[in-house]
A and B are shown apart, each in its own frame.
Chain A
Amino acid sequence: MTDDPWEPFLSTVRTVFAFLVCAVIVLAALALVVGLLLLVRIHLRRIHEVLYLGDHAGVGSPGPEDFAWLGYHGGPVWWDLAEVYRRVRLDTGLFVVFLYPFLAVQAVVAAAHLALAWAGVVVSRLVDAALLAARRIRMVCPNCFEAMSYPSYVCDGCGRTHRDVRPGMWGVFRRHCVCDRALPTLLLLGSADLDTRCPHCDHALEHRPGEAREFVLPLFGAAGAGKTRLAHGLYLSLEHGAELHPETLSVELMGEETERRLRESRTVLSPRHRVAPTPPGRRAHGATLRVAAGRRTLLVQMYDTAGEWFNTHERTEELSYLGRATTFLLVLDPLAVPAVWEALDAEEQRRLAGDRSGARDPERAYLQVRDQVQRQYRTLGAAPGKGRLAVVVTRGDLLAGTSVDPRGTPPERWLDEVVGAANLLRAARVDFGSVEVFVTSAVTGPSGAPDPSLTTLSRWVLARDAGALGATLREPCDPLSDAGEERVPVSAGTGGPS
């Protein structure tokens, strides 16, 4: 061993050097950690500012077209991310690279949110659409007769109309109106509780479209044939059924307009009442009845249009609800038909002259409507020949006891033989899948109950789309139906398939 005199000194130097290196490393590590912590703190602060406090001008107000705020997944999630990035970059300069992992985490969270939200959108829309399809719900505006894929809803906070509330950019389960009111996005979620509008004509829809199946029921026939009275009669027959069986059946007039039209049905059907003509100057409008039996509900839209509308092709063309219907009621006044009139004796003629309408040719209205239905079916792509037509002969009560009393004869034969409408029937069979003939008396009995012929007709009307409803009508309310037509109390209203 050499006894180097420098050795102690060198070893001191080495120790000091080692210590310094350690210190530098420790300090550097410390600085790194502190720096990183600071950066993360900045990042978190920015996230708090932008996402939580919403201090971010980038989220523009909605355009003039849409009235709702974008849902978070509909854009703001990215804008917020970008904004956080922008601010962080401004704060940290080049050091932002150290934050990339954290920003990436934020981006991943955002992407997850997005995926979840859009999945929610797709699923909820699918479910809703599937439900509507399964329940065969198709919505038609009673004012403009357009089919709507979804109704518009009015915000109950500010009155703005939201055209399409369904899940999408603006929200998954709720959307936020610009007035900040949250609105449900689907019928499933209760949107029907809001004021509803037609997306095409902005007419208020008071029948809660979308909640129940809709059933379009056009009544047509020449002026004075008895359409208006028959509409009242149909309503009253349902009403009456509901009165008898309040626990199983309920009927409701939907909306002010319907109410105004049908509220006086009882007066209208009183035997001595004469109905004023429907002014052709008023546009046709569907009167909506909500008929419910148990869990089954049907929205019946009755279209009672003035007879003048069926005189010319130009006018019938405007009645686009025809193409949306499968069940049609052709109303005809037997007294107007010369053959019937001639068959009456003078005394009968004198007595019934005041009830005879002026239109001599019931076929005219039929042909107009048939052409129109076929044309509209074609444009809508619906299968022809699927429709049902009821030929409703009115004024059964007046015919009772005359020389052409229809009671006792099957209505179809009566129509064929007495009215001489064989051609019409033949044509109708060709044009429509099934044709029935009814003789109705749109009157009330002394007890105030509508004539059973009306109930019969109602039952037939509801049979296809809501057989159960029809069934509720039948059993208890109609003690006479089993016994046969002859026992109709007031008149010779007959019904049922012959």
Chain B
Amino acid sequence: MFSSTQKNMELASGKGEDKPETVIKTEKSQSRPEAKGRAVFQPTRENGQVVAVTNTVLQYTYPLKLLLPQNVSETKTCQWLYVITFGGGLVAGDNIQLDIELAEECTVVVTTQASTKVFHRVDDLVTCQTVEAKVGAGSLLVFLPDPVVCYKDAAYRQKQVFHLKQGSSLVLLDWYTSGRIARGECWEFQSYHSTNSIHLDDRLVFRDVVHLQDTPLLPVHQAMAQYNVVGMCVLIGPALSNLYNKLLKELGRSKPYGYKYNMEVVLSVSPLRFKKEEEEIHGAVVRVMAFTTTQVFTEMERILQELFPRLGGNPFENKY
């Protein structure tokens, strides 16, 4: 005889089934003004050759800060932009907007000084970050932020849009953790919402939207089990074709018979094709889920290391 439905739904955390989904208000209801940042990069040519990447615009308002240290990269043909927030974290109501523009033939690394920390939600304010980037033909944007770490009761929303042209290349790493793991805070935030869109010549070719929040049927922390880190790394464009083709073979091929799976770090890879008629591959997306941040840093560093000469260094150095 089947028992009653409520008793059987042991998956539910005890909240009523009819509890309406928490409505997350949009940026427009923020009480703090937007913090805007803008960075523009142009190539510097000598005798028709690009000899350096020059930053021509660098603007930011509190609590956003942009740093362009000149001694990090060993090559003048790649600039490293650090995106920082004063106070070491974002609070409810913060609304960061960052515009990045690469003209043609520039290589730029965008990274952070440390993980993006998001504090708990206050009233119905959400913490928001928006990035809009344009990458010119022949340019490579390497977007490698540290992970987003949402503290207990945080509500975070990010939107990242990348506009590429034929001949542009992009490495996009987007990842997040379960919280202050060392404090035993595991998937205790209210809401994590991330949208990544990539347009090629104004056509949407890639979109990934994740919205992590408890549902009446299953709380996030139960669903995530022992996994503390989730992320994806998109590679698109001609500058990366050796790399992504290699990754597709390496991560995509069948495991040998009797292979011992390590469930602590799971990597997957998918080819990206943008035209139905062509079989041509334009990129790849690597996804990862892992028990620790160190595991993901190690994998990402290994995966991207062949780019380091072009970047003039290893962006992951000293990050973990």
A binds B: no
Question: A interface vs B, CB < 8 Å?
Answer: none
